[in-house]
């Protein structure tokens, strides 16, 4: 059932999820997006330019974070705006031959504001990896019935 504006209150939690990320996910994303920057797949290159290792694409991180909102809204087209600031890279460890994820992105959301005139709710997301916020001011505006 899709949420309605009248059912929501500011501060109401939308839930949370953990997204396991592997370097294979990054390679697949690179193919889909066309972003083959070696910082997203080549350990040596990434460390040579001062990064802690291979890092996830920023747009990949945004995409997996906003999925919480699109699932909650019941319609991806209901998200009419999504903005954030990148605050820290998401390092993705090499787990070749290991079933473990290279990183785990923790996402939780809550209603940050309601606009009855516009029929929208602002969803504020907390996006954390290893205890550190990797996206700041991650906010999605959702048009609701």
What domains can be seen in the chain, in order of their start residue? 5-143 (3.10.129.10)
CB 87 within 8 A of CB 60: no
pTM for the model stands at 0.92
Tens-level pLDDT at each residue, the chain (145 residues): 789 999 999 999 999 999 999 999 999 999 999 999 999 999 999 999 999 999 999 999 999 999 999 999 999 999 999 999 999 999 999 987 776 789 999 999 999 999 999 999 999 999 999 999 999 999 999 999 7
Within 10 Å of residue 114's Cβ, how many Cβ atoms?
17
């Amino acid at each position: 059932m899709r949420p309605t504006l009248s059912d929501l209150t500011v501060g109401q939690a939308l839930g949370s999820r953990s997204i396991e990320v592997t370097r294979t996910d990054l390679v697949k994303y690179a193919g889909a997006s066309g972003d083959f920057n070696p910082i997203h797949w080549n350990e040596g290159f990434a460390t040579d330019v001062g990064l802690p290792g291979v890092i996830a694409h920023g747009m990949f991180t945004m995409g997996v974070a906003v999925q919480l909102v699109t699932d909650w809204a019941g319609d991806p087209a209901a998200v009419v705006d999504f903005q954030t600031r990148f605050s820290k890279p998401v390092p993705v460890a090499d787990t070749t031959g290991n079933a473990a994820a290279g990183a785990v992105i923790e996402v939780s959301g809550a209603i940050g504001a309601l606009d009855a005139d516009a029929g929208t709710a602002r969803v504020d997301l907390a996006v954390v990896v290893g205890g550190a916020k990797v996206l700041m001011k991650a906010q999605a505006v959702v048009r609701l019935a």
